[in-house]
Amino acid sequence: MRRLFGSVRARATLGATLVVAVALVAAGAAVLLSLRSNLMGEAGTQAERSARAVASELAAGTPYDKLSGLDGDDGPVQVLDERERLVAASEDLERISGTDSDQVKPRPVTTPSGDGDDDSDDAGEALEPGEVSGESLFSNGSATIDGEAQDYRFAAVEVETHDRGHLKVYAGAPLAAEHGAVRTALTVMLIGFPLLLGVVAAVTWLVTRRALRPVEGIRREMAAITRSEDLARRVPEPDTHDEIARLASTTNETLAALETSVERQRRFVADASHELRSPIASLRTQLEVAAAHPELLDLDGAVEDTVRLQRLAADLLLLARLDAGERPNDAKVDLAGLAREEAEGRTGVTVDAEPVEVAGSRGQLGRVLANLLDNAQRHARSAVTVRVRREGDRVVVGVADDGDGVPDGDRERIFERFVRLDAARSRDDGGAGLGLAIARDVAVRHGGTLTAGRGPAGGALFELRLPLA
């Protein structure tokens, strides 16, 4: 049961069925109340018509035994005097309730005395002799006529007579039609509502199943991808152009990004292993030779390989921290001063900078400038220029050289890890191809960009753009 209602389809079906059930119950109750009220009103109108007919005859002086409404065909009738004594009633009336008197057999009553006339003023509204009251009172009750018991709607009408004083006439209309109609409507509802709820549940189940079928396909494909670890696979995208189609599209985009990231990580590990292997092998060879022949130890070469290995390890560690999402601090850094510090002691490097500040890591930004200067000096013929300026809400650091420049088709490729374009960037001539990759990653982490273009002297121009502090 828990597994069943853990399904979106089951919950949607249950929810829709409950909503429709509540609506049907409310509508059914309203219909029954309206039906009962209308039928009760019709019965009351019929009873009032009968009571007024009898009251009119009494007002005209018709004797009790000549009243036309006492045959019992239209329902029970009672006539009470001001003392609530029964003075006339329907023939064969055996029992009655819901009126002011439960008497069924009239008592012989003489013409009211003066005292009776005085009491008539308190029995109801003040009426002139021969006048029928315009007001009617209604009540529900039951009566038995000639052995047949029924429920009735009673109407009470008062009348003032010339010779018999103040009288009250009760007449009843049967409620059998009202009860029958209500029972019929209730029976129809009790049979029809469950059938309608079953149809609603079935339709909702089928529609939800059809709507969620692509989701199940996505789930199965994701499970297969998880088992096979094949990130090249993609989930099916339905042609419905709805939320599920957008979910499938986003899932495929996520899979593509994950595949790219995993492939990049694999390449990185392979390239890092390859790059580490060379200096370690060279250093090991020199140490083994030195162990066998101390006089042949190339101390400068060993130190150079050790430094190169240290730099490579530092680069790999920084990349690992950047890939892990390490965020720079928010310290203010003077880029003009930092550019002059990194250019100090470098041959052929000139700096033209205005004071500007950015927020970030001084060490990481210094690493970016150092990598750009190393790259520029490696390619320059004679001169490298560094310019620091403000453009709107951005700081632009341009590092240009007078070398051969970067071909248009390689201006994005050079920012990939372990990429070398020519012999000038060989392993022996400097670096493992990580400098520009590190520089761009640091720029992105600081909310900026790093691009390559053509400089004023025809060489390469690298522009670092960062937001002002």
Instruction: Give the 3-state secondary structure of residue 459.
Output: coil
Structure tokens at 5: 């209602």
Q: 332-467 in CATH: which number? A: 3.30.565.10
Write out pLDDT tens, residues 434-456.
888 888 989 998 999 999 999 88
373: enclosing H helix or E strand: helix 362-379
Q: What is the DSSP string of 213-277?
A: HHHHHHHHHHHHHHHHT-TT------TT-SHHHHHHHHHHHHHHHHHHHHHHHHHHHHHHHHHHH
Write out pLDDT tens, residues 18-42.
999 999 999 999 999 998 889 889 9
Cα separation of 93 and 147, whole Å? 9
Q: Is the pLDDT of residue 204 over 70?
A: yes
Q: Is the pLDDT of residue 283 over 50?
A: yes
pTM above 0.85, yes or no: no
Structure tokens at 86: 């029964």
From the list 366, 361, 336, the residue with the least C-alpha distance to 446 is: 361
Write out pLDDT tens, residues 358-415.
998 898 899 899 999 989 998 898 899 999 999 989 999 999 999 888 888 888 888 8
All structural domains of the chain with their residue ranges: 1-226, 243-323, 332-467
Structure tokens at 30: 């309203």
Q: How many CB atoms lie within 10 A of CB 211?
A: 16
Q: Which residues make Cβ contacts (< 8 Å) with residue 223, sequence separation at least 6?
A: none
Higher pLDDT, 111 or 132: 132
342: enclosing H helix or E strand: helix 335-343
The amino acid occupying position 165 is G
What end-to-end distance do the CA atoms of the chain give, in Å?
A: 59
Q: Which residues make Cβ contacts (< 8 Å) with residue 230, sequence separation at least 6?
A: none
What fold is seen in the domain 243-323?
Helix Hairpins (1.10.287)
Instruction: Give the 3-state secondary structure of residue 340.
Output: helix
- Region of poorest pLDDT, from 30-34, 87-91, 188-192, 413-417: 413-417
Burial (0-12, 13-18, 19+ Cβ within 10 Å), 242? exposed
